[in-house]
Amino acid sequence: MDVYRLLPGDNCGECGTKTCMGFATELIERRGEVDDCPPMLEPEREDDRKELVELLTPPVRPVTIGTGDNAFVIGGEEVVYRHEKTWYNQAAIIIDVDDEMEGEELKEKVNWISDYSRIKIGQELSFNGIAVRAKSEDPSKFKEAVELVAENTTYPLVLCSYDSEVLKSGLEIVSDRNPLLYAANMDNWEKVADLAIEHDCPMVIGSTDIDEIVEISTRALSKGVEDDQIVLDPGTDPTDLRSTTNRLVKLRRAAIEDEFEPLRFPLLGIPSTAWMSEEDENDAAFMEASIACALVVNSIDALIFHSDEIWSLMPSLVLRQDLYQDPRNPASVEPELNEVGDPDENSPILITANFALTYYTVEGDCEGIDAYIYPVDTDGTSVTSAVAGDLMTADKIVDAIEEEKFAEKVSHKNLILPGKAAVLSGQIEVDSGWNVMVGPEDSSGIKDFLADNWPPKEE
Amino acid sequence: MRLYNKEKIQKVLKEVLQSIQSIDLEEDEIVLEGVDVDAGGFEFEVSPKAIPQSQLMPSIAEEEEIEIEEYEPILREWENQIQEIPMGATRADGGTRGEVVKLGGEKCLPFYPDCENPHMPIVTFDTFDSKVPLPGVISKHYEEVIGHPGEWAKKSVEEYGAEMVTIHLTSTDPKGNDTPPKEAAKSVEEVLEAVDVPLVIGGSGNPDKDPAVLEAAAEVAEDERCLLASATLDLDWKRIADAAMEYNHNILAWTTIDINLQKELNRRLMNYGVDRDRIVMDPTTAALGYGIEYSVSVMQRIRMSGLGGDEELEFPISNGVTNAWGAREAWMGAEVPKEKYDEEWGPREFRGPLWEVFTGFSMILAGSDLLMSLHPRSVMVLKEMVDRLSGEREGLSNIENWVTAY
């Protein structure tokens, strides 16, 4: 209602929604932005517009890092626990490099970070940014490294040094790329804040002392740093995870439950610190990953890693994908006859469940072959659960043969059922007259199964 | 004369001053009338300086010192405490276990600043009474003990420091060996003799046969206070409840990622007469990448309901972390001879255990009290992480140096 009150109220429809009330709902559900409404941009509505924007700003202020297609937003969260609504902006996964790495080595790591991509449940898993650490503490050396990194990636960058002269030398190369400056502390905050203001880029405030964070952020805001340009690093201690996670909980509550202005910012965690406490590389990568796990479950907004081993990074990519699924919409796909590759009337029809994860796993396993896949409407549950819970039944499959007109798509009468749904095969054959072939238990075996069994032998 | 709390007077004064901000302060004295400070006619002398300048004269405020607001972090107190469950019985209680392991007792969310955890989460090692299909990276650690549950349990305790052991009587599966319950129970005796840690006893998961298997196992383990796994809604849970009460054991109440089903099963057990200190819940563990978000959220909701006073949900939680090995990212590569998975996902010697660590550690952070786990490296890392969360460990003094340290 507060939102609606501030809108023009003439139902002009220019925003694409018929009524202002409808647009208000879109705004509250975060499906639209205030600027989608052209009348709100008129000068005489400036005050209302400002009030509306502030009203719609989530308790944790969103911060944008980088520019262009790879820019990402962190923060913007409204709830501490995902089940209370949903978490919105995935925790950013950033990997560090340093300015003492050899040119080729640096280039190779930067390219690997930027190129990594994997599709899971129909979504792309990739990293978000690169942190350049000024290990040398030498401005000219840092500048050189930043230059090399910037030439080899369009990913957003984090410039890491407590020396404002070093940060400045990095900014000479990438000030137009909206990098994140790391980090302001009690000693240097004024100079870092000056850089953030001058170059209009976000900055990190780092301290394990919440009082210090409050003091620096209050002063930085008063000095003129924008309230959507601050990120907080409350310290990731690899051996004392208790205080580490407790600080996260306190800060998240401060932002969301208290809406305490000096702390309404996204939180940065640095599992990379595990490399300070472990000697062995594999141990360090294991610890780094496990620390990241604790931070992601406790709703961190961004993470900096050191490892470049995919086995240690993939679990974090997957965990954040999982936890940022919207719990209000169970991940499922439409129950319809889908095509993979270029199927014709001789291609097999594979049956599976409409749980998104199941469906996309099967689809991925069919890469390179031509087939139809029919995901039965199992209320978004997996084959195993659906068979056990009577959500995947012979009746549903028999009905689908009719409704989805399987007979018009193919010239044969064969269905391939998941191995875990074998129990349904008899009834399907009796009720539909189609022949049922029981496929593999795990869809990774589909290609081998088809190689041995398709086309089916004439009886 | 009655003394007045200085802070209280300051607080009242502050409120009063805030309420008179709009008054033009030309006087140097204000008489406060009708202000209830319980002091019968207070008279304050107020200098205009006592009111923040910024609220009176914005032009001067810019030159003033910035006010830093103090922040007092929220600490939450819950109404209820999670039920404490003793696992195992020592000689004093009629059993033969070396120590009793306690689960539960939490007064707030796991490892939150609001309270201390009375007990750290415990890992129980899985063992099996027969050959089961295990990924190669796991079975290679247990090759010589597979098929010998006593030896397996011993190895888990002596080599890997297991605080509890689970014996899964998988050989009883009618679709497999179909071992009779009484014969299968011998494996339980074997494990009880081999180690003195508390046990979890599992069936094969066959709903028709498990009650008989668990009855027989409960009988041979009388008074050892084992955890019988599991009572579910789709089998004759009353027989398992009877066995637990008759032979002095605990019950694992297992449901499928659904808070209402969990309440339903717990309620039935309680109404049937099962003591509150015998119930542990298993709301099902979905693996990382395969629905873990459902498990995390259901567990957090269950724990919050329990702490908030829902007596049907105030029990400790157990998680079958071994489920992580069902994820293809964990196992693929060995059984399916495709090197490409090692190339794409990294060596399975690492990715498998780490997948189990992520699944287990997420459960710990969502409220788990007991983890059923399998790979020695996963268990080692999980125990190390729990230790780092305990609050007992000293931190590094120089974490800010990460920028230049390595």
What is the C-alpha to C-alpha distance for residues B325 and B135, in angstroms, rounded to an integer? 8
The reply to whether A379 and A422 lie within a common domain is yes
State pLDDT tens for residues B105-124: 999 999 999 999 899 999 99
Query: DSSP letters along B192-259, please?
Result: HHH--S-EEEE--S-TTTHHHHHHHHHHHTTTS-PEEEEE-TTS-HHHHHHHHHHHT-EEEEE-SS-H
**A331, part of any domain:** no
- Asked if pLDDT for residue A223 goes beyond 60, the answer is yes
State pLDDT tens for residues A78-89: 999 999 999 999
The reply to whether A42 and A113 lie within a common domain is no
- Within a 10 A sphere around the Cβ of B312, how many other Cβ atoms? 19
Report percent pLDDT > 70 for chain A. 99
**B73 contacts in A (CB within 8 Å)?**
210, 250, 253-254
Q: Which amino acid is at A424?
A: L
A153, A421, A129: which is closest to A303 by C-alpha?
Answer: A129
Kindly determine whether residue B289 and residue A257, on different chains, have CB atoms separated by under 8 Å: no
- Asked if pLDDT for residue A139 goes beyond 80, the answer is yes
CA distance A12 to chain B (A): 41
Asked if A289 and A318 touch (Cβ cutoff 8 Å), the reply is no
Q: Which of A16, A38, A56 is the last residue of a domain?
A: A56
Kindly determine whether residue B345 and residue A314, on different chains, have CB atoms separated by under 8 Å: yes
**B394 contacts in A (CB within 8 Å)?**
239-240
Closest alpha carbon within chain A to B71: A211
Res B11: pLDDT? 66
Q: Which amino acid is at B70?
A: E
The reply to whether A350 and A440 lie within a common domain is yes
The reply to whether A344 and A234 lie within a common domain is no
Q: Which fold has domain B84-389?
A: TIM Barrel (3.20.20)
Kindly determine whether residue B362 and residue A297, on different chains, have CB atoms separated by under 8 Å: yes
Write down the domain spans for chain B. 6-61, 84-389
Task: Average the pLDDT over A125-146 and give the result.
Answer: 98
Q: Which of A20, A36, A56 is the last residue of a domain?
A: A56
Res B12: pLDDT? 62
Q: Give the B window 246-285 contacts with A, CB below 8 Å.
A: 256
The reply to whether A109 and A195 lie within a common domain is yes
Kindly determine whether residue A245 and residue B111, on different chains, have CB atoms separated by under 8 Å: yes
Q: Which of B109, B232, B402 to mutate to test the interface with A (most CBs of A within 10 A)?
A: B402
Q: Which residues contact B18 (CB under 8 A, 6 or more apart)?
A: none
Binding site, residues of A?
12, 15, 20, 37, 352, 358, 380-383, 443
Res B385: pLDDT? 96
State pLDDT tens for residues B213-239: 999 999 999 999 999 999 999 899 999
Residue A11 belongs to what domain range?
2-56
**A332, part of any domain:** no
Q: Which of B293, B298, B380 to mutate to test the interface with A (most CBs of A within 10 A)?
A: B293
Query: Which residue in the set A250, A297, A444 is minimally distant from B332, CB to CB?
Result: A444
Res B41: pLDDT? 43
Q: Give the B window 106-135 contacts with A, CB below 8 Å.
A: 111-113
Asked if the peptide bond before residue A455 counts as cis, ω within 30 degrees of 0, the response is yes
Number of domains in chain A: 3
Q: What is the CATH number of the domain that holds A111?
A: 3.20.20.20
**A459, part of any domain:** no
Q: What is the 3-state secondary structure (H, E, C) of chain A?
A: CHHHHHCCCCCCCCCCCCCHHHHHHHHHCCCCCHHHCHHHHCHHHHHHHHHHHHHHCCCCCCEEECCHHHCEEECCCCCCCHHHCCCCCCCEEEEEEECCCCHHHHHHHHHHHHHCCEEECCEEECCCEEEEECCCCCHHHHHHHHHHHHHHCCCCEEEECCCHHHHHHHHHHHHHHCCEEEEECCCCHHHHHHHHHHHCCCEEEECCCHHHHHHHHHHHHHHCCCCCCEEEECCCCCCCHHHHHHHHHHHHHHHHCCCCHHHCCCEEECHHHHHHHCCCHHHHHHHHHHHHHHHHHCCCCEEEECCCCHHHHHHHHHHHHHHCCCCCCCCECCCCCEEECCCCCCCCEEEEECEHHHHHHHHHHCCCCCEEEEEECCCCCCHHHHHHCCCCCHHHHHHHHHHCCHHHHCCCCEEEECHHHHHHHHHHHHHHCCEEEECCCCHHHHHHHHHHHCCCCCC
The reply to whether A361 and A256 lie within a common domain is no
The reply to whether A353 and A295 lie within a common domain is no
Q: Tally the residues of chain B.
A: 406
Enumerate residue ranges in chain B where pLDDT < 50: 1-4, 22, 25-28, 30, 32, 34-61, 63, 335-336
**A402, part of any domain:** yes
Q: What is the CATH number of the domain that holds A364?
A: 3.40.50.11600
The reply to whether A397 and A295 lie within a common domain is no
The reply to whether A248 and A379 lie within a common domain is no
Binding site for 5-methoxybenzimidazolylcob(I)amide, residues of A?
352, 358, 380-383, 443
What is the average pLDDT score of chain A?
Answer: 94
The reply to whether A432 and A313 lie within a common domain is no
What is the C-alpha to C-alpha distance for residues B254 and B280, in angstroms, rounded to an integer? 9
- Residue A444 binned pLDDT confidence (cut-offs 50, 70, 90): confident
State pLDDT tens for residues A191-205: 999 999 999 999 999
Q: Which residues contact B7 (CB under 8 A, 6 or more apart)?
A: none
What is the C-alpha to C-alpha distance for residues B20 and B250, in angstroms, rounded to an integer? 65
Kindly determine whether residue B358 and residue A206, on different chains, have CB atoms separated by under 8 Å: no
Q: Which of A99, A299, A319, A387 to mutate to test the interface with B (most CBs of B within 10 A)?
A: A319
The reply to whether A418 and A312 lie within a common domain is no
> For residue B264, what are the CA distances in angstroms to A165, B44, B253, B269, B271?
64, 63, 10, 9, 10
Kindly determine whether residue A311 and residue B73, on different chains, have CB atoms separated by under 8 Å: no
User: In the numeric block, which tokens belong to residue A24?
Assistant: 């208000």
The reply to whether A374 and A294 lie within a common domain is no
- Asked if pLDDT for residue A130 goes beyond 70, the answer is yes
